[in-house]
Amino acid sequence: TFSSPDTAYIPRGEMQAMEYLKKQPDGVVFNSFEAKEGYPFLDYRTSGYVAAFTGKQLYLDHLGPLNIIGVDFKKRWKRIQENDCTLLSHIEYIYFVKGHNSTYLDVCSLTIENDFSSDFQNGEVLIYRRKK
């Protein structure tokens, strides 16, 4: 059901990207980008699908369950909303869906260029990995 365009679905290219990320060494993933209008699936605020499909820890995940189980996510969420590039020091991977807003990537481009390398790219997703 996640691959049918007649429902909320995850595009095939994104499934390929998550399969790639799943095979990578453990590390915290930053995927906190808001979906643009028309994107066929959910963004980080309402879905934990990247963690579910990759088995990786996310910097910030589905806000509803985090709130229900009492995880204090507000500091992290505020840092994202303020485009705080220093939070990337806690990240091993950046998982960017091209159907999401790129403002954070644009603002933090110098940090990303210095600290990360492009590790995977297809028509749907760009994955950066922390340089060793």
Neighbours of 4 (CB within 10 A): 9
pLDDT of residue 62: 67
The pTM assigned to this predicted structure is 0.84
Question: Which band of pLDDT confidence, cut at 50, 70 and 90, is reported for residue 24?
Answer: very high
Q: What is the mean pLDDT of residues 60-66?
A: 70
pLDDT of 105 strictly over 90:
yes
d(CA 72, CA 86): 19
Vertex 113: Cα angle to 111 and 119 (nearest 5): 120
Q: What is the mean pLDDT of residues 81-110?
A: 94
pLDDT of residue 1: 47
